[in-house]
Amino acid sequence: MNEFDWIRSIAPTHHHRSSVIQGIGDDAAVFRPRNGWDMVTAVDSFSEGVHFTKDTMPLDAVGYKLLAANVSDLAAMGAVPLYYLVSAAIPATGWKLSELDPVYAGMKRLGDAYSMDLIGGDTISTGNGLVLTITVIGRVEQDRRLLRSSARPGDVLFLTGPVGLAAAGLSRLLAQGKSAWSKERDIEAHQYPVPHVEYGRVFAESGLRVAINDVSDGIAHEAEEIAEASNVAVTIIRERLPETGIQAESSKLEDWMLRGGEDFVLIGAASEADYLGLEKTCAEQELPLYRIGFVEEGNAQVVIERNGKRERLTGGGYSHF
């Protein structure tokens, strides 16, 4: 099968969204946005040997997780996921074109869960490992986008789910390879993370001031981004972080929770009154919220509080360069 036959083989036979005017099959995709909505877009790449290996990820999980990481960015803006485009740089050796089928099937599995349409992309050959790049497009009600810069002194700091599971799973996968593949929570959290779109929609639809960031690089890093964007001081209370149920040394477990990343839950800040309202709305939809700290005046920084003792929290966030 050549490149063009393969592209035809992965092209969708139908579209979930009636807003798609032209998908795969022409020079560019065309979609028609709805009035009263802001369009939201994000792009991310997965590189073999950096983000995954064939020993740590089933092929379908590679595609699933890449799309999940991008959908999580839409969730952090409160957006409804709509479309995605995929660029694949395929190495001349080490990969067969047929191996891309389960990768795209993994994307489709998650895309179908949110009624997202694959509307285009590109394929090229490369001399190195597989590189996949996804661009996602969503929409959020006009002027309802959720921004990191919205935190204010006096706010409650909260999480939409436990953190550290994905890092714990990666640790096991790096040590044990394919023998660790299982349905256990830490392995599933690393290979098949679930973006918290429903939470983002609750926050956006509320119309309240809510600062949100998705946890791709660990809450130490994501809290710092909120602190910098809002010019506030953020405190994380260690004892309030939701338990993962993972057994490990306390220092290692804490590092996974604070700096592990790739959990793709949301970390946010809202006023006390607004938080209580959001907590009630989320509970009605069986979406638990976890109060983990607070926001106060101060230069952009993050503090960790353990047993009443406070210290500056630094580190976290993977740097490619």
Give the annotated binding-site residues for Mg(2+). 27, 44, 73, 122, 214, 217
Closest to 65 in 3D by CA, of 49, 87, 44, 95:
44
* Euclidean distance between CA atoms 266 and 259, whole angstroms: 14
* Euclidean distance between CA atoms 219 and 143, whole angstroms: 26
Closest to 244 in 3D by CA, of 252, 235, 253:
253
* Both structure tokens of 62: 């590679």
List all residues 6 or more positions away from 129 whose beta carbon is below 8 Å from its beta carbon.
47, 48, 49, 91, 94
**Positions at the binding site for substrate:** 51, 262, 318
* Euclidean distance between CA atoms 159 and 11, whole angstroms: 37
Strand, coil or helix: what is 171?
helix
* Euclidean distance between CA atoms 173 and 190, whole angstroms: 9
**Positions at the binding site for ATP:** 104, 121-122, 148, 216
**Positions at the binding site:** 27, 44, 51, 73, 104, 121-122, 148, 214, 216-217, 262, 318
* Euclidean distance between CA atoms 73 and 43, whole angstroms: 9
* Euclidean distance between CA atoms 173 and 166, whole angstroms: 10
Concatenated DSSP letters of 37-75: EEEEEEEEEEEBTTTB-TTTS-HHHHHHHHHHHHHHHHH
Closest to 227 in 3D by CA, of 140, 306, 157:
157
Going by their DSSP bridges, the two strands 80-91 and 156-159 should be labelled as: unpaired
End-to-end CA distance of the chain, in Å?
37
- DSSP H or E run through 228: helix 219-230
